[in-house]
Amino acid sequence: MMFVLHPGADQEKIKSFINEFEEMGFSPLVSEGTERTVIGLVGNTKVLDVHSVVETHDIVSYGKRITEPYKLVNRAFHPDDTKVRINNIVFGEGGFQVISGPCSVENEDQIIQVARAVKESGATILRGGAYKPRSSPYSFQGLHQDGLRLLSLAKKETGLPIITEMTNMNQLEYFDDVDIIQIGARNMQNFDLLKEVGKCRKPVLLKRGLYNTIEEFLMSAEYIMAGGNEQIILCERGIRTIETMTRNTLDISAVPLLKKVSHLPVVIDPSHAAGIRSMVSPLSKASIAVGADGLMIETHNDPAKALCDGAQSLDLKQFDELMKEIRRRVEFEGKTLG
């Protein structure tokens, strides 16, 4: 931790500052610059709040933490890629996965029909929402436990592993048959929920919040890993910016950045990123080229009648066409689908 003093800071106060932190067990190092003096603190500074030190010592102009606040997810301390395996498929290590299915599980016919179709087209994991976080209390909130039951049915029918969102910790007991637990963007900083999934031993797909930085995203992954669960897949799904023509702005740079500073696999959700069906194909192509480990694409047997997110869902024929494109491009990158 480093503190930059105001120009002409009082020498007596500097001494007292140094004493204070020496007594707390740190080794303060003073560097005199041409205009400013800088004091570095060496030791276990994790216990200090940098802003508090600044605000409570009037000789200090500002301070900065030297080391990243995340450790377990940090590539600096764990150089090798983490691979997340579900049965015989893998995120990372050249494996590329396509997660597909409807925004919400609506009824048996729908989920079975979609599951069969996306499997046929080449998807490797089935998605479907049972607990839906909706911004309006008047919108369809999902089928809850019944939705989970229908997902299990579709899993049995097709053999596809399933992923679905958990919105509160009391739901965990119903997730036995679920292969990957999804933590949604609006719950990325629901720390109680992160602690809960940190305790279980199932892979977790963690979505980036729509106004959260990469560092905050990694701190949320750190919560899960600190609980002992290392099977984490990061998912970039668009952030909120000043642009209004798309629902969100896909932060495509997040993929190489996350892979640089962390060892976790990264997938992209192009459906939520733009919120517009016609953007799903170009954004999928860009995602493969930029180095993502997978895609999460919403599909529906009849998007015009979908109970949620119909605007961004592909119909089954569109998905089938897109999968041909995806397959060709995954191969071009030297990766393997599935």
Cβ nearer to a copy of itself, comparing 87 with 278 = 278
Task: Please give the Cα distance from 262 to 54 (Å, whole number).
Answer: 30
Answer yes or no whether residue 145 interacts with a copy of itself by CB under 8 A.
Answer: no
DSSP codes, 147-206: HHHHHHHHHHHH---EEEE--SGGGGGG-TT-SEEEE-GGGTT-HHHHHHHHHS-S-EEE
Answer yes or no whether residue 94 interacts with a copy of itself by CB under 8 A.
Answer: no
Answer yes or no whether residue 66 interacts with a copy of itself by CB under 8 A.
Answer: yes
Cβ nearer to a copy of itself, comparing 158 with 164 = 164
Output the six-digit token pair for 294: 């997978």
**Which stretch in 10-18, 87-95, 150-158, 308-316 sits in contact with a copy of itself by CB under 8 A?**
308-316
Identity of residue 240: R
- Which residue from 38, 112, 153, 172 is in contact with a copy of itself, where contact means CB under 8 A? 38
CB of 2 to a copy of itself, least distance (A): 7
DSSP codes, 90-148: EEBTTEEEEEEE-SB---HHHHHHHHHHHHHHT-SEEE-BSS---SSTTS----THHHH
- Which residue from 77, 87, 317, 324 is in contact with a copy of itself, where contact means CB under 8 A? 77
Task: Tell me which residues in 214-233 interact with a copy of itself (CB under 8 A).
Answer: 214-216, 219-220, 222-223, 226
**Which stretch in 82-90, 111-119, 121-129, 203-211 sits in contact with a copy of itself by CB under 8 A?**
203-211
Answer yes or no whether residue 329 interacts with a copy of itself by CB under 8 A.
Answer: yes
Identity of residue 206: L
Adjacent-strand bridge partners of 127: 163
Task: Please give the Cα distance from 185 to 86 (Å, whole number).
Answer: 22
Answer yes or no whether residue 29 interacts with a copy of itself by CB under 8 A.
Answer: yes
- Which residue from 85, 240, 317, 324 is in contact with a copy of itself, where contact means CB under 8 A? 240
CB of 158 to a copy of itself, least distance (A): 26
Q: Which residues neighbour 181 within 8 Å (Cβ) at sequence distance 6 or greater?
A: 163, 164, 165, 166, 175, 197, 200, 202, 203, 204, 205
Answer yes or no whether residue 10 interacts with a copy of itself by CB under 8 A.
Answer: no
SS3 at position 2: strand
Cβ nearer to a copy of itself, comparing 157 with 315 = 315
Task: Tell me which residues in 115-144 interact with a copy of itself (CB under 8 A).
Answer: 133-138
Q: How does strand 37-42 pair with strand 2-5?
A: antiparallel
CB of 110 to a copy of itself, least distance (A): 15
Cβ nearer to a copy of itself, comparing 19 with 67 = 67
Contact pattern from residue 182 through residue 201 relative to a copy of itself, giving x for each residue in contact according to CB under 8 A and a dash for the rest: ----xx-xxxxx-x------
